[in-house]
Amino acid sequence: MRGEGPESDIVMSSRVRLARNLADFPFIRKCTSKDRQSIATMVERAWQRLECASESEYVDVAKIGDLDRQFLMERQLISHELIDAEGARGVLLDRQERYSIMVNEEDHLRLQVMRSGLDLEEGWAKMTQLDDMLERELKFAYTKRFGYLTACPTNVGTGLRLSVMLHLPGLVATKQIEKVFRAMSKINVVVRGLFGEGSQFMGDFYQVSNQTTLGKTEGELIQKVKEVVPRLIEYERKAREHLLAEDRGELSDMVGRAVGILKTAKKISSEETMHYLSKVRLGVNVGLIDDVQIATVNQLFLQTQPAHLQKLRGLMSNASARNTERANYLHQFLNPA
């Protein structure tokens, strides 16, 4: 949120995720309601025996309301799949939001560690620690031939998925984004939207991750992503330089219009807000805006999302009311007294 991680002008965050399943239960799609409850109970009890339990809490996702589920998803702490799942399910949350562990999503366990900016090494170090602690308490489904067994074949092996969230408005503005991602697909790198698989591309944010894990070691997968992401960062920097050198007037106009709309709109949707905030963030990073901080823009990306807005400003029953309140909230930050 503060934008202090490595390469944070372009890389918003790095995420390391592991898929794990308990050896004594079928995969989730074959689990009974009793199985799901047993898995959730077993994982929660195992976690409580660990030293790090005091820094986290278990949230029973089946028992909280829709607004709280949406809130957790907007913070990237749970997934659409966990929201839409049935029966016993939950999430172990680090209170500082450095990691979360989803229970009974697509797999019995989905561990994820988040870091600001491009910081896969530190994320992996923390993930290794969490995985080792849990494996001392729980028996995971594993074979010598295939490695860790997962519900989706693409995750079999290490179960490791590395994901980097990038802000790429320069490539979008210069119409190079499709060309770049076609090249990514040829080297087994997949591109997803803001909230992962199946989600829309919003605010010029893109998640880049490895496509498969089978047959690769953790080190090889990390190296693969580490090779690809710097190339994307370089492409984005060149696109921004081109816009400044060749189309500075056009760029200034685009950024200025975005600022004007955000400062004066009476109603604005979350999708529109992300679209215009993306232009503002680009303007700040290339020096066209000097009275707005990156930390403020990053904060607004999150806090203008529907669930966050409702929690900050009070429950609003319909989208029109939220759009009005969102505009008022933006005015607070962008029109200081």
Confidence of residue 201 (pLDDT cuts 50, 70, 90): low
What count of other Cβ atoms lies within 10 Å of the Cβ of residue 335? 10
d(CA 26, CA 195): 27
How are beta strands 90-94 and 56-60 bridged, if at all?
antiparallel
**The pLDDT of residue 337:** 59
CB 237 within 8 Å of CB 285? no
pLDDT averaged over every residue in the chain:
91
Average pLDDT over residues 245-262: 94
Q: What is the DSSP letter of 158?
A: T
Instruction: Give the Å distances, CA to CA, from 45 to 94, 128, 199, 254.
Output: 16, 20, 33, 54
Q: Which residues, including other chains, have CB under 8 Å from residue 196's CB and lie 6 or more apart?
A: 79, 80, 163, 207
Read off the pLDDT of residues 159-169 as tens digits, 9 standing for 90 and up. Answer: 999 999 999 99
Read off the pLDDT of residues 218-237 as tens digits, 9 standing for 90 and up. Answer: 888 888 888 889 999 999 99
Domains of the chain with CATH codes: 11-237 (3.30.590.10), 248-334 (no CATH)
Query: What is the pTM assigned to this prediction?
Result: 0.89
Amino acid at 212: T
d(CA 114, CA 106): 19
Q: What is the DSSP letter of 193?
A: B
Residue 12 main-chain phi, psi, to 5 deg: -75, -45
| % residues pLDDT > 90 (the chain) | 74
Read off the pLDDT of residues 19-69 as tens digits, 9 standing for 90 and up. Answer: 999 999 999 999 999 999 999 999 999 999 998 889 999 999 999 999 999
Read off the pLDDT of residues 169-178 as tens digits, 9 standing for 90 and up. Answer: 999 999 998 8
Q: What is the CA radius of gyration of the chain?
A: 21
Least confident span in 12-16, 83-87, 212-216? 212-216
